[in-house]
Amino acid sequence: MTTPILIANYEELLRKAGFRITRPRKIILTILTESEDHPDAIELFRRASSIDKSISLSTVYRTMKMLEEIGVIHRHAFDGGPARFEQASDSHHDHLIDIETGDVIEFHSEKIEELQEEIARALGYDIVHHRLELYGRKRAPKKGAR
Amino acid sequence: MTTPILIANYEELLRKAGFRITRPRKIILTILTESEDHPDAIELFRRASSIDKSISLSTVYRTMKMLEEIGVIHRHAFDGGPARFEQASDSHHDHLIDIETGDVIEFHSEKIEELQEEIARALGYDIVHHRLELYGRKRAPKKGAR
DNA sequence: CTCTTTATTGCAAATAATTTGCAATTGCAT
DNA sequence: ATGCAATTGCAAATTATTTGCAATAAAGAG
């Protein structure tokens, strides 16, 4: 679904941004590229720990901040909860959050994007970024169906 | 802009929900009805304190939680910041946040709402609530304009 | 490969936002 | 007025995240 980005590419990116390629960073980047979900810091910490017990939670936080700054990841705060991260893919998308399970489904609507632009323009603004989150629950199958 | 709601109506609402009308609650509700902006808990606490020095921050938090539960207010977390509140008006709206000033502009697009429903439906979901936030900066006036 | 410099790390402590336990207080139905 | 349960203020606890600092480890120079 999301365009896979090789970890080697990330290392190149970090280098160009003037950062060092460290063991914790490699591990965290690997986890990010392999994650299909939107883990929060503690979850990333858990996954990283399973690879290298010595990685600290602070490093996870610091790394996420750095990766966000160079545009490698996006940070979300669904319903005011803890920050959850995902690798920035080439294509923008919004999120539908299953309020029962916490699952996150990605979607994109060019039409909505256009309308947003239109609205902002009418209000005299240029959109820098936006956040569209739908919170819902799985629809009960129509009776009669099956 | 927003439909004004009398504080007496709120007291009625609280009563019906089985809550007592206390001095702190009256004060907080008054502040909410008079606020045109989207204050956070500390700001509400400050405003409440200026009326009654004895009100505590915990009470502000507890009251906001209660008011949210009975649908009197809405809670926002713009860009992962602290929760900010506004009285729930009759009409739903979304927000455009000026990333330079922090100002919040309200808007509504029936078309976008419809598209959201459509998308959720296509994914097999019913929308329970949603969050649409545009973050932008005032557009530089076109050169030549004036 | 070894040395040197400086970024990065882990850890513990600090901060920020919010919640909670509890004894004292207060609203409200009698 | 009286009584009792809901509510409050305060302090301490939680949760999420950041930061200071001494120890460690990248990466360039030789």
Domains assigned to chain A: 7-87 (1.10.10.10), 94-136 (3.30.1490.190)
At residue A107, what is the residue type?
F
Report the C-alpha gap between B117 and A65 in whole angstroms.
34
CA separation, residue B3 to residues A49, B44, B89, B103, B133 (Å): 53, 21, 6, 20, 21
Residues of chain B positioned with their CB less than 8 A from the CB of A111: 115
Take residue A18 and report the two structure tokens written for it: 């003037």
Query: B73-76 and B94-98 as β-strands: parallel, antiparallel, unpaired?
Result: unpaired
Question: Chunked in runs of 10, what are the mean pLDDT values of chain A (146 residues)?
Answer: 64 92 96 92 97 96 96 91 90 90 90 96 94 92 60
pLDDT in tens, B24-55: 999 999 999 999 889 999 999 999 999 999 99
At residue B3, does pLDDT exceed 60? no
Report the C-alpha gap between A98 and A85 in whole angstroms.
17
What average pLDDT does this structure show over B84-112? 90
The side-by-side arrangement of strands in the sheet containing B104-107 is A104-107, A94-98, A125-138, B125-138, B94-98, B104-107
**Between these two residues, A92 and B141, which has the higher pLDDT value?**
A92
The pLDDT assigned to A6 comes to 64
Alpha carbon of A99: minimum distance to chain B alpha carbons (Å)? 8
Mutate to test the interface with A, among B78, B84, B119 (most CBs of A within 10 A): B119
Q: Which nucleotide is nearest to B66 (CA to C1')?
A: D7
Take residue B40 and report the two structure tokens written for it: 């956070």
Residue in A98, A128, A132 closest to B136 by CB: A128
Query: A84-87 and B94-98 as β-strands: parallel, antiparallel, unpaired?
Result: unpaired
Take residue B138 and report the two structure tokens written for it: 């005032």
Report the C-alpha gap between B97 and B120 in whole angstroms.
25
How far out from the chain centre does Cα A5 lie? 14
Report the C-alpha gap between B26 and B11 in whole angstroms.
8
Looking at strand C, which nucleotides approach a protein CB closer than 7 A?
7-13, 16-21, 26-28
Q: What is the DSSP letter of B40?
A: B
Residues of chain A positioned with their CB less than 8 A from the CB of B109: 115, 119
Percentage of residues in chain B having pLDDT higher than 90: 73
Rounded to 10°, the helix B23-34/B57-69 angle is 70
Work out the pLDDT band at B144, boundaries 50, 70, 90. low
Mutate to test the interface with B, among A95, A107, A116 (most CBs of B within 10 A): A116
Report the C-alpha gap between B34 and A12 in whole angstroms.
54
Q: Is A40 annotated as a binding residue?
A: no
The pLDDT assigned to B8 comes to 64
At residue B16, what is the residue type?
K
pLDDT in tens, B55-79: 999 999 999 999 999 999 999 999 8
> CA A106, B38, A120: angle at the middle one, nearest 5?
55
| Arithmetic mean of pLDDT over chain B | 90
At residue B145, does pLDDT exceed 80? no
At residue B130, does pLDDT exceed 70? yes
What average pLDDT does this structure show over B15-19? 92
Report the C-alpha gap between A107 and A101 in whole angstroms.
18
Take residue A21 and report the two structure tokens written for it: 């390629």
The pLDDT assigned to A91 comes to 84
Are the C-beta atoms of B136 and B102 separated by less than 8 Å? no
